[in-house]
Amino acid sequence: MRTARRILGIILIFLFGVFVGVVVTGGAIEKKTREVIRGGPKAVMETIVNRLDSELKLDSEQKRKLQAIVDDAHIKLRQSQDKIQPEINASLFEAEERVRAMLYQNQVAKFDRIVSRSREKWKPWQEGQEKAPPSKVGEVVPPKEKTPANTPAETPKPADNAPPPGASE
């Protein structure tokens, strides 16, 4: 009986150690990820270069060339984003309008607060950009003109914008 208790105790201590290790490692990974994301594109590029340098043991010439490649890729990605950002913003604007159209009147203000909070979360990242895109992330830019191809299907509004029975904010 004593031997079984000792073995069980050792197993429990081992499992507790594994659990603590997973929690600590997960927290460290999450912290590092947040730091990289908050640091913006420069931090991401530095992380890529440093990781490849560390794992591949690059010499100084290779590291210099890698940095140039990463910088070039960043510029090209930024140019692509600048081209498509207005279209993304228009799609987001359309989606927001469609959601507002299907909401009850008492839900619209809450939805607008949720959208506003989401935009605020993106502000620090956006301000960290060395060059802002033509339209800021989260900035709503309506489409230039509506044509049958880009007009959303009419979503029926609830009768009199009254909340359903039992609904509350």
Is the sign of the CA dihedral 152, 154, 157, 160 positive or negative? positive
Q: What is the per-residue pLDDT across 82-94, written as a single tens digit (0 to 9) for each?
A: 899 899 889 999 9
DSSP string for residues in 53-120: HHHHT--HHHHHHHHHHHHHHHHHHHHHHHHHHHHHHHHHHHHHHHHHHHS-HHHHHHHHHHHHHHHH
Helix, strand, coil shares of the chain as percentages rounded to 5? 75, 0, 25
CA trace torsion 124, 126, 128, 129 (10° rounding): 180
Cα distance between residue 97 and residue 58, in whole Å: 51
Residue 166 tokens read as 């039992």
Tokens standing for residue 88: 């993304």
Whether the pTM exceeds 0.75: the reply is no
pLDDT tens digit sequence for 134-155: 344 444 444 444 444 444 444 4
When the pLDDT of each residue in the chain is averaged and rounded to a whole number, the result is 77
pLDDT in tens, 7-44: 999 999 999 999 999 999 988 888 877 777 777 778 88
